[in-house]
Amino acid sequence: MHTLPLLVVIGTLIYLYRYYNPLNHANPHLYKFHKRVRVCLGVLVVCTAMALAYRVPVDFVGFVRGVQANQVQQALKRQEARQASEIKHIRQMIDVLGGPDNYLAHQKAAQSR
């Protein structure tokens, strides 16, 4: 996945090293070629920067929205589990105390304390 960009970077570094090497002699044909290559590399860098400037915020916003949606789902699951647990506890208390009237009396006594 990262092999091609790495090869491009290495190739560019080799190209720049050979271009700026002091042992290179002046050759007008090579100078024109190198100038065209530098212009193409500059255009490529600008296009890549523009594409990334557009795509990165869009991808980041999508990532943040996905995380938020996941957090909302987890909160809903926790709330449902909490409500189910409370209902189960109330039913157990009603069974232990012998009926809903005794449970309500127990709740009133607990609140008055």
Decide: helix, strand or coil at residue 60.
helix
List alpha helices for the chain, DSSP H: 3-20, 28-97, 100-112
The per-residue pLDDT for range 30-72, each reduced to its tens digit, is 778 878 888 888 888 888 888 877 787 878 888 899 999 999 9
Enter the pTM of the model.
0.48
Domain region containing 40: 3-112
The per-residue pLDDT for range 5-37, each reduced to its tens digit, is 778 778 877 777 777 766 766 667 777 887 888
CA distance 31 to 39: 12
**Amino acid residing at 49:** A
Cβ–Cβ under 8 Å, residues 63 and 73: no
Number of domains in the chain: 1
